[in-house]
Amino acid sequence: MSTEIAEIRQLLKELVISQKETDAKFKETDSKFKETDAKFQETNKKVKEAFDLFTSQWGRLMESLVEGDIIRIFNERGIKVQDTSTRRKGSYQGENYEFDIIAHNGKETVIIEVKTTLRVSDVKSFIKKLPKARTYLRMDDDEVIYGAIAYLQADAGSEIFAQKEKLFVIRATGDSAAIINQSDFVAEKF
Q: Is residue 84 part of a domain?
A: yes
Q: Is residue 38 part of a domain?
A: no
pLDDT band at 182 (very low <50, low <70, confident <90, very high): very high
* 129-160 as b/e: b if 16+ CB within 10 A: bbeebeebbeeeeeeebbbbbbbbebeeebbe
Q: Where are the alpha helices (DSSP H) in the chain?
A: 2-76, 120-136, 158-164
Q: Is residue 171 part of a domain?
A: yes
Q: Is residue 184 part of a domain?
A: no
pLDDT band at 17 (very low <50, low <70, confident <90, very high): confident
Residue 144, helix vs strand vs coil? strand
Sign of dihedral through CA atoms 175, 179, 181, 183?
Answer: negative
Q: Residue 119 sits in which domain range?
A: 69-179
The length of the chain is 190
Q: Is residue 106 part of a domain?
A: yes
pLDDT band at 7 (very low <50, low <70, confident <90, very high): confident
pLDDT in tens, 136-150: 999 988 999 999 999
Q: Is residue 56 part of a domain?
A: no
Of 150, 165, 173, 185, the closest CA to residue 76 belongs to 185
User: Does the model's pTM come out above 0.75?
Assistant: no
Average pLDDT, the chain: 87
Q: Is residue 153 part of a domain?
A: yes
CA distance linking residue 32 with residue 119, whole number of Å: 44
Q: How many domains does the structure of the chain reveal?
A: 1
Q: Is residue 40 part of a domain?
A: no
- CATH (domain of 105): 3.40.1350.10
Average pLDDT over residues 76-94: 93
